[in-house]
Homo-oligomer: A and B are copies of this chain.
Amino acid sequence: MNFQFSDNVAALQPSAIREILKFTGMPGVISFAAGNPAPEAFPTETVAQISADLLREDPILAMQYSITEGYPALRNLLKERMTAEKAFCEGKDELIITSGAQQANELTCKVLLNKGDTLICEAPSFIGSINAFKSYGVNLFSIPLESDGMNIEALEEALKTQPNCKIIYVIPNFQNPTGGVMSLEKRKALYELACRYDVVILEDNPYGDLRYDGENVPSIKSMDTENRVVYSGTFSKILAPGFRVGYVSGPAEIISKITVCKQVSDVHSNIWAQAVCERFMRITNMDEYLANLRNIYRRKRDIMLSEMKTSFSKKISYQKPQGGLFIWCTLPDDCDMNAFCKKAVSEYKIALVPGNAFLINESDKTTSFRMNFSTPTDEQLIEGTRILGAMSKEVLGE
């Protein structure tokens, strides 16, 4: 049989950068291309103990059908935590558990946008979200990212001119892929524009707890006097991505529609994992736990940065990220970034992610690439950065 796929799905082309990424798993390759938590960051013994207790005390809870909204005790803990951060308003907002923040972002798009409506995002932005939005046939429009967030003039122009703008999607903290933080001023300006043009903001915050230097910037949700911000979070970066436990909160009406869509998508998220997350939050001193996690990643970031400083050609520019898992590097304008990344992996066995992977149109030009410091071992961080540095000097000069 010859299959004809739906228009939206047929348009989801396999990525051209797969050719580069397929080298990643090959023996001997040092991968700076992942975004996985460090293996040593997993609280394996605590999780094993919690799981054993849970499966002894209440095995049926962990195995039987549960409700779509998620495990009530976990929802309550998250609401409390977010209320303390002024990111949840009892009575106006609701919160449900999702299968990772991926599902939170996908379903927010599904409930709000018709095919052809516009969703505005950052350029570059997280590829998983971009593809989720594409799978609903929406008109994606991206706004150039500056070191302190979206270009606000370009955003206003897009809100004025793009058809049926419904959502502005942003990752304000330690953005993937750039590692940048949106300034307080730009958060305020963004919120004002969303009010003026009557659109929803989807604030995706997977890395918010992973700040290594500087001060936290208030979330956009905390400014949400008009109740138009949807906020997604996850346990993937602070506990275990394999659990697939995320959450989405925001205007109760929107969360109610997301719940209907989640029910038809997977009924509910794995309930064992939800119960493990709840007990983990309840019995752990989360401030201490997160401080320790930040220590692990700060160290790894600094190892990579220190080696970059001594090894890299001075023609590669980058900023020290204040948090998150990534360093965003930019080659000189006249440089062929894809050739650089291809050479790195095929000749030097160092895997990077070419920056065009994070653009709406992969064929658009960029000279940036993304490096990850959370997944490699210390030795791989040093050796890989040194090798890449030597190659960069060979290609670009000192």
Contacts and interface: CB of A to CB of B under 8 A. Distances in A.
Contacts of A12: 257, 260-261, 264
Nearest to A254: B3
Nearest to A44: B59
A243 B261 contact: no
B241 A266 contact: no
Interface string A93-130: 00000011011001000111111010000000000100
Interface string A256-295: 0100110111111111110000000000000000000000
A28 interface: no
A84 interface: no
Contacts of A63: 42, 44, 47, 239-243
A7 B267 CA distance: 21
The main secondary structure of chain A at its interface with chain B is helix
A270 B242 contact: yes
Interface string A37-69: 101001010011001100110011111111000
Identify which of A6, A110, A226 gathers the most chain B CB atoms within 10 Å of its CB.
Answer: A6
A317 B132 CA distance: 48
Given A9-B110, A59-B44, A63-B44, A244 B257 contact: no
A241 B66 CA distance: 8
A319 B273 CA distance: 40
Interface in A60-99: 60-66, 99
A148 interface: no
Contacts of A151: none
A6 B110 contact: yes
B267 A270 contact: no
Interface in A188-215: 198, 200
How many copies of this chain are found per oligomer?
2
Interface residues of A, number: 76
A135 B106 contact: no
A302 interface: no
Contacts of A241: 63-65, 267
A106 B264 contact: yes
A236 B240 CA distance: 23
Given A3-B112, A114-B7, A265 B132 contact: yes
B48 A260 contact: no
A228 interface: yes
Contacts of A227: 1
Given A12-B257, A12-B264, 8 more contacts: A1-B227, A5-B257, A6-B111, A51-B51, A63-B242, A65-B236, A66-B242, A134-B264
17 contacts: A3-B112, A9-B111, A12-B257, A12-B261, A44-B63, A48-B55, A51-B51, A51-B55, A64-B240, A65-B242, A66-B242, A99-B270, A100-B266, A131-B263, A243-B272, A244-B266, A269-B270
Interface of A: 1, 3-9, 12, 14, 36-37, 39, 42, 44, 47-48, 51-52, 55-56, 59-66, 99-100, 102-103, 106, 110-115, 117, 128, 131-132, 134-135, 166, 198, 200, 226-228, 236, 239-244, 251, 253-254, 257, 260-261, 263-273
